[in-house]
A and B are shown apart, each in its own frame.
Chain A
Amino acid sequence: MTPTQQWLRAGAAALTILAAVGTAQAADKVVTIWHTEPNEATKGAMAEIIADFEKANPGIKVNQEAIGWGDLDKKMQTALATGALPDAVHGQAYVERSLSAKGLLRPLDDVVASVGEDDIYDVVKKLNYNPKDGHYYGLAHAIGTDVTVYRKDFYREAGLSVDQPPETWAEWLDQLKKLTVDTDGDGKIDRYGLSLAGPGFFINEDLYMWTGSNGGRLFDEKGRPTFTEKPVIEVLEFWKELADCCLAPDWLSRGYLDTFADLATGKAATILGWGRGTGYFEKYAPDAVAAGDIGVFPAKPVGPSGQNFLTQLDCEPWMIFKDGQHPEEAAAFLKFFYQKDNYRKYIQTVPVHFFPITKSLQEDPDYLATPDFASWKFWTDAQRNIIANHEPKPVMVTEWDDLDLPFIAEIAGSTILVDMVTEVVQGGKAPMDAAQRAQDRAEKLITDLGYKTW
Chain B
Amino acid sequence: MHDAVTQAQTIDHSEPLPRGRRIPEHWWGYVLLAPAVILVLGLILYPVIYSFWISLHAKHAYLPIENFIGLDNYAALLDDQEGFWRGLKLGAIFAVSSVGLQLVVGVSAAMLLNESFIGRTFARGVALFPYMVPMIVVVILMRWIFNDSYGVLKYLLQASGIVDDPIVWFSPDNVMLTLILVSTWTFFPFVVIGTLARLQTIDPELYAAAKVDGAGPLRRFYHVTLPQIRNVLFVIVLLRFMFMFTKFDLIWLFAGAGGLGYYVRTLPIYTYVRTFGELQVGAGAALSVTLFLMLVVFSIFYFTIFRRDEQL
Measured CB to CB, the residues of A under 8 A from B are 2-5, 7, 73-74, 76-77, 80-81, 98, 102, 188, 198-204, 248-250, 252-253, 255, 258, 261-262, 265, 267, 409-410, 413-415, 418-419, 422-423, 426-427, 441, 445, 448-450
B61 at the A/B interface (Cβ < 8 Å)? Answer: yes
* Alpha-carbon separation in the docked complex, A107 to B141 (Å): 46
Pick the contact of B23: A4, A409, A414 (CB < 8 A).
Answer: A4
Whether A265 lies near B21 (C-beta < 8 A) is no
Residues of chain A contacted by B170 (CB below 8 angstroms): 250, 252-253
Whether A81 lies near B62 (C-beta < 8 A) is yes
Whether B149 lies near A249 (C-beta < 8 A) is no
Shortest Cβ distance from B19 into A: residue: A2
Pick the contact of B259: A77, A203, A267, A427 (CB < 8 A).
Answer: A203
Listed residue (B64, B258, B277) with the most chain A CB atoms within 10 angstroms of its CB: B258
Residues of chain B contacted by A204 (CB below 8 angstroms): 258
B171 at the A/B interface (Cβ < 8 Å)? Answer: yes
* Alpha-carbon separation in the docked complex, A80 to B256 (Å): 24
* Alpha-carbon separation in the docked complex, A178 to B256 (Å): 32
Pick the contact of B262: A410, A415, A449 (CB < 8 A).
Answer: A415
Which 7 residue pairs across A and B have the least CB separation, nearest first?
A200-B258, A418-B258, A253-B170, A80-B62, A413-B277, A2-B20, A252-B260
Measured CB to CB, the residues of B under 8 A from A are 18-23, 31, 58, 60-65, 82, 143, 147-150, 165, 168-172, 175, 255-262, 265, 273, 276-281, 283
* Alpha-carbon separation in the docked complex, A248 to B61 (Å): 37
| 26 cross-chain CB contacts under 8 A | A2-B19, A4-B23, A74-B276, A81-B281, A199-B256, A200-B259, A203-B258, A204-B258, A249-B171, A250-B169, A252-B260, A253-B260, A258-B147, A265-B150, A267-B149, A409-B279, A410-B277, A410-B278, A413-B276, A413-B279, A414-B273, A418-B257, A418-B259, A419-B82, A427-B172, A441-B82
Residues of chain B contacted by A419 (CB below 8 angstroms): 82, 258, 262
Residues of chain B contacted by A73 (CB below 8 angstroms): 276
Residues of chain B contacted by A422 (CB below 8 angstroms): 172, 258-259, 262
Listed residue (A200, A267, A409, A426) with the most chain B CB atoms within 10 angstroms of its CB: A200
| Shortest Cβ gap from A3 to chain B (Å) | 7
Pick the contact of B148: A74, A201, A202, A250 (CB < 8 A).
Answer: A250
Residues of chain B contacted by A250 (CB below 8 angstroms): 148, 168-171
Residues of chain B contacted by A427 (CB below 8 angstroms): 172
